[in-house]
Amino acid sequence: MKVAVLFSGGKDSCLAMHKAEQEGNTVVCLISIISKNKESYMFHVPNIELTALQAKAIDIPILQVETVGEKEKELDDLKNAIAQAKEDMQIEGVVTGAVGSVYQASRVQKICDELELWCINPLWQMDQIELLNELLTEKFIVCITGIFGYPLDESWLGKTITKETIEKRAELQDKFKLNPAGEGGEIETTVFDGPIFYEKINPKKTSTEYDNHAGTLTIEEAELVPK
Amino acid sequence: MILIISLCTKKHPVFFDEFVKPIADCITEPHEVAHYTEKFDSEKYSKIILCGTALKDDEYLKHLDKFEWLKDTKKPVLGICAGMQVIARVNGAEIHEAKEIGFTNISSDHVLLKNTKEVYCLHHLAVECPKGFKKIAESDICLQSIQKDKIIGLLFHPEVNNKHLIRTFIEQ
């Protein structure tokens, strides 16, 4: 079916898109909600503006919509964006990267139901370590661009997810009950390359903000380079 | 050997990962996965699980003849969401519109569910209780669970936040 992907530019939306394509769906547009609220309940925040460049690299049109990020208003903005994609691109379904968040998944399910669209969650309930390993197997290049919570520190910012990073995350999961894929919001990621990319992202200038186990790596400038 | 049956429409195989794989991931014992349209001998398996499917997918209800085996089986069966709907339909019960999306609260005195309060629902159809079955859990909106002998139906999705219910079914 023709689908739109709710696209944050992070690992979950990229892997969900890849799985949806592998199962025969055609992604005709990406939808990114740019929340002005840094603590949005629904939407991934760091480097969300980079989604326009990522969409170029993936070679699929993107619909970027700004929201002030108030709890229920951001859902109205999301619904309007999906409705626009249905009108303009004739989508039949929406793909999300939801893994375990019932808050996110049930709200998108309700919006899709109201708009008579299929709601597709290819990563739903997926084991977190399996998810990280699948990103590696599928050759996604995933950079950690946000950390939010003890014992994560500045050294994690800018790291690419590798076998070693996954092992370290698994250790922290056991010791500190951290969710290894960060879906609880402890880590945010930005994807630079992968099987859905025709070109890759090369970050040219970055800046870091960090204080007391909370920090972000902002990609100030980036370019597309051939793979 | 445990049998997990997918009720997802074959038109959209993407739903397998969302509705069947999370059930299979709960089961460490030897198991096989089949689609409801395939031929299988239900008596060959120790336990059978019928999985749910997407909110917009009602295709399984057009193929109730594929579930006739449910009338005669002596094997323990767990029907989840769409699975509970087919258990009810092949046993003569009616279905009706009743939408629940997200967490809902249930009440039950049944040994399996008495400590389960909050469950995840994703359905727009609910069932009447078939003849010979007991109602074992309800929400404010509709019947959430039915049982007859070794056959149990759950309208909610235990694979979300209540995986222990699947383990209990497998282990008991």
CB of B71 within 8 Å of any CB in chain A? no
Find the DSSP H helices in chain B: 16-19, 21-24, 82-90, 163-171
Q: What is the pLDDT of residues A106-152, one digit of tens each?
A: 999 999 999 999 999 999 999 988 999 999 999 999 999 998 888 88
Please give the pLDDT value at position B57: 97
- The DSSP secondary structure of A87-127, one letter per residue, reads HHH---EEE---SS-HHHHHHHHHHHHHTT-EEE-TTTT--
* CA–CA dist A182, A25 (Å, integer): 27
Which residue, B49, B81, B51, B56, is CA-closest to B151?
B49
* CA–CA dist A12, A22 (Å, integer): 15
Hey, which of A45-49, A191-195, B69-73 has the most confident mean pLDDT? A191-195
**Burial annotation A53-71 (CB, 10 A radius, 16+ → b, else e):** bbbbbbebebbbbebebee
Please give the pLDDT value at position A91: 98
* CA–CA dist A133, B50 (Å, integer): 29
Please give the pLDDT value at position A171: 79
ipTM for the predicted complex: 0.94
Please give the pLDDT value at position A183: 57
CA A224 to centroid of chain Cα atoms: 19
Q: How many domains does chain B have?
A: 1
Q: What is the pLDDT of residues A138-188, one digit of tens each?
A: 999 999 999 888 888 889 999 999 999 888 877 777 777 666 655 556 788
Which residue, A98, A42, A41, A35, is CA-closest to A69?
A35
The residue whose two tokens read 């629940």 is B100
pLDDT-above-90 percentage for chain A = 67
> Is the pLDDT confidence value at A51 over 80?
yes
Active site members of B: 81, 157, 159
The pLDDT-based confidence of B157 (bands split at 50, 70, 90) is very high
Hey, which of A62-66, A68-72, A211-215, B127-131 has the most confident mean pLDDT? B127-131
* Smallest CA–CA distance from A115 into chain B, residue: B56
The pLDDT-based confidence of A93 (bands split at 50, 70, 90) is very high
Domain limits at B134? 2-171
Q: Give the CATH number of the domain where residue B149 resides.
A: 3.40.50.880
Please give the pLDDT value at position B30: 96
- Tell me which residue in A19, A113, A122 faces B55 most closely, judged by beta carbons: A113
* Smallest CA–CA distance from A102 into chain B, residue: B102
* CA–CA dist A224, A102 (Å, integer): 35
What are the structural domains, with CATH classification, of chain A?
A: 2-120 (3.40.50.620), 141-226 (3.90.1490.10)
Q: Name the average pLDDT for chain A.
A: 90
**One-letter amino acid identity for B167?**
R
- The answer to whether the CB atoms of A118 and B12 lie below 8 A apart is yes
